[in-house]
């Protein structure tokens, strides 16, 4: 786990002009940064599990929203801290939700090799079709296929588990696979 350095100061570049103002200077956003920047940054570092870049981005967005808020409202800058923490928390939640909603970004270094796509819907449809096709077999054929292919047993082990001769298991496997192929080919032709 990443060590979270809570005593780090937020970078000066987050403020317009790249410097910190003194409380009482002409720019109220500089005063907000001077009064509330450090505790807000430490709070955001905890929320982001020590990700400085993310904490800085969230702090900058919080300061931007405070600046926009102060354009239309008059507020006592010294008492804005609870509001700022609420805004910062909501921005962090929105940012996390946005990351979850976006598809995972993939960096391709060689144009010829793309990662294999995993299509969950296609896989689900395949499983459902296979289940439907298996259910179309007789129970005896289905049992033999489950023993051999699902449980990984040999014909002899499947015969012992099912209490039937080994030759019967081999025969049922042959006819079950043939019936499954006929059903699967018919299903593939329908698509």
Reply yes or no on whether the pLDDT at 1 is more than 80: no
pLDDT, tens digit, for every residue of 69-115? 887 777 777 778 888 888 888 888 888 888 777 776 666 666 555 55
Beta-carbon count within 10 A of 33 CB = 26
Reply yes or no on whether the pLDDT at 156 is more than 90: yes
Stronger pLDDT, 10 or 135, i.e. the higher one: 135
**Does residue 36 contact residue 28 with C-beta atoms inside 8 Å?**
no
Q: Which residues contact 155 (CB under 8 A, 6 or more apart)?
A: 148, 166, 169, 170, 173
C-alpha 165/C-alpha 92 separation (Å) is 65
Residue 172 Cα distances to 110, 133, 138, 169, angstroms? 48, 16, 10, 5
What is the token pair recorded at 187? Answer: 């299903």
């Amino acid at each position: 786990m990443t060590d979270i350095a809570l005593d780090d100061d937020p970078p000066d570049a987050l403020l317009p002009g790249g410097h910190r103002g003194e409380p009482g200077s002409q720019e109220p956003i500089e005063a907000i940064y001077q009064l509330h920047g450090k505790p807000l940054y430490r709070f955001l570092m905890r929320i982001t599990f020590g990700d400085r870049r993310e904490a800085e981005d969230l702090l900058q967005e919080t300061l931007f929203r405070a600046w926009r808020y102060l354009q239309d409202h008059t507020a006592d800058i010294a008492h804005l801290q609870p509001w700022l923490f609420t805004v910062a928390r909501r921005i962090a939640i929105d940012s996390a939700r946005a990351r979850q909603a976006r598809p995972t970004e993939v960096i391709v270094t060689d144009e010829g090799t793309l990662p294999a796509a995993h299509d969950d819907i296609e896989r689900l449809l395949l499983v459902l079709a296979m289940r439907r096709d298996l259910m179309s077999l007789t129970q005896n054929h289905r049992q033999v296929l489950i023993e051999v292919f699902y449980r990984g047993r040999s014909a002899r082990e499947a015969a012992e588990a099912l209490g039937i001769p080994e030759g019967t298991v081999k025969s049922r496997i042959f006819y079950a696979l043939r019936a499954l192929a006929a059903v699967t080919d018919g299903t593939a032709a329908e698509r």
